Amino acid sequence: MAVVKADLEACQGYANCVVGAEDYFDIDDDGVVVLLRAEVSESDRGRVEEAARSCPVSALLVEDQ
């Protein structure tokens, strides 16, 4: 099982991740990413990894647990 991790200090609220995987990411009122789900199913992994890679400040990481 893969998990997604967020560096909240690095996040600048671009929301590219939300566009790519709105069921995994959201942006709070302060403009910081919120992880809606940390565990990534294998069927969603490619889409979530792409959404994480779209972050311009590299605040997201998908890794095997």
pLDDT of residue 38: 96
pLDDT-flagged residues of the chain (< 50): none
pLDDT of residue 46: 97
Q: What's the CA gap between 57 and 3, in Å, rounded? A: 19
For residue 31, what are the contacts with CB-CB under 8 A and spacing of at least 6? 11, 12, 13
pLDDT of residue 44: 98
pLDDT of residue 57: 98
Cross-strand partners of 54:
none
Q: What's the CA gap between 53 and 25, in Å, rounded? A: 13
Mind listing the domains of the chain with CATH numbers? 2-64 (3.30.70.20)
pLDDT of residue 59: 98
pLDDT of residue 10: 98
For residue 58, what are the contacts with CB-CB under 8 A and spacing of at least 6? 7, 10
